[in-house]
């Protein structure tokens, strides 16, 4: 048996509910070693470091 709504929602009620679904801007943090903008808790693409330690060698 499928789910069936008891009453119809108006267009205003439907659209006001959908209005809160927005895309959030991506949060960026400065790299502690080189100062480049990067996503937090990830290896820096510019210098290859994480938590002030070089993890990946960048050529």
**DSSP secondary structure string for all residues of 23-53:** PPPPP-EE-TTT--EE-TTS--TTT-EETTE
18: confidence class by pLDDT, cuts 50, 70, 90: confident
Count Cβ neighbours within 10 Å for each residue of 29-54 and write b for 16 or more, e otherwise. Answer: eebebeeeebeeeebbeebbbbeeee
Name the DSSP class of 14. H
Domain spans in the chain, listed from the N-terminal domain onward = 28-59
1: confidence class by pLDDT, cuts 50, 70, 90: low
Whole-number Å distance between alpha carbons of 58 and 50:
13
pLDDT digits (tens, 9 = 90+) for 24-55: 889 999 999 999 999 999 999 999 999 989 99
């Amino acid at each position: 048996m499928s789910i069936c709504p008891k009453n119809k929602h108006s267009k205003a009620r439907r659209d006001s509910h959908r209005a809160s679904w927005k895309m959030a801007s991506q949060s960026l943090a400065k790299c502690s070693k080189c100062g480049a903008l990067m996503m937090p808790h990830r290896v820096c693409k510019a210098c290859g470091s994480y938590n002030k330690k070089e993890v990946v060698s960048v050529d």
